[in-house]
Amino acid sequence: MLRVARPTDRLDDVVRFYTEGLGLSRLSAFCDHEGFDGVMVGAPGGSYHLEFTHQRGHGVGRAPTREHLLVFYLPDSGEWHAAVDRMIAAGHLPVEPMNRIGPRTGFPWLAGREQFAPEYRVSAGAQWG
């Protein structure tokens, strides 16, 4: 099992981004555990989950660069297009990647708009054909 833990100042926004936009499931949550609130998202029964935490009374700011990414490779074009449609329906639009290697190899990138995206960007790469 892989767990990726990331702090955030906007826990509710981040959870909405990953659940409504990317279609991940809310797996569990905790409130005021020694001053921390947190939510785990992922695929039920999957080999990973993402844990987002907020420490009450502390700020974490934004990621230092646009290159701080979580990359999800989707196995077929239907799944990729469904993810794109969900992101757009949730109000997130594609942005230019800082590192252009993805588009040069034919893997489109998708991340939320700056004003709505979580502190760390997400890329949904196509991995078919």
In a domain, residue 119? The reply is yes
Residue 32 lies in a domain: yes
pLDDT band for position 129 (cuts 50, 70, 90): low
Instruction: Say yes or no: 38 and 83 in one domain.
Output: no
- Candidates 1, 2, 4; CA nearest to 68 is 4
Tell me whether residue 35 is in a domain: yes
Q: What is the mean pLDDT of residues 100-113?
A: 48
Residues belonging to the chain: 129
Predicted pLDDT at 108: 44
> What are φ and ψ of residue 87, in 5° steps?
-65, -45
What pLDDT is stored for residue 111 in this prediction? 46
Higher pLDDT among residues 121 and 2, named by residue: 2
Q: What is the pLDDT at residue 80? A: 80
On whether both 34 and 76 belong to a single domain, the answer is no
Residues 34 and 8 in one domain: yes
Q: Are residues 37 and 81 in the same domain?
A: no
Question: Residue 127: what pLDDT?
Answer: 61
Extract the tokens encoding 21. 């936009």
CATH number of the domain residue 13 falls in:
3.10.180.10
| Domain span holding position 22 | 2-55
Domain total of the chain = 2
Shared domain check, 122 and 74: yes
| Residue 98 burial (C-beta neighbours within 10 Å; 0-12, 13-18, 19+) | exposed
In a domain, 62, yes or no: no
Question: For the segment 66-106, what is each residue's pLDDT rounded down to a tens digit?
Answer: 777 777 777 778 888 888 888 888 877 776 667 666 544 43
42 with 77, same domain: the answer is no
| DSSP state string for 72-117 | EEESSHHHHHHHHHHHHHTT------SSTHHHHTT-------TTTS
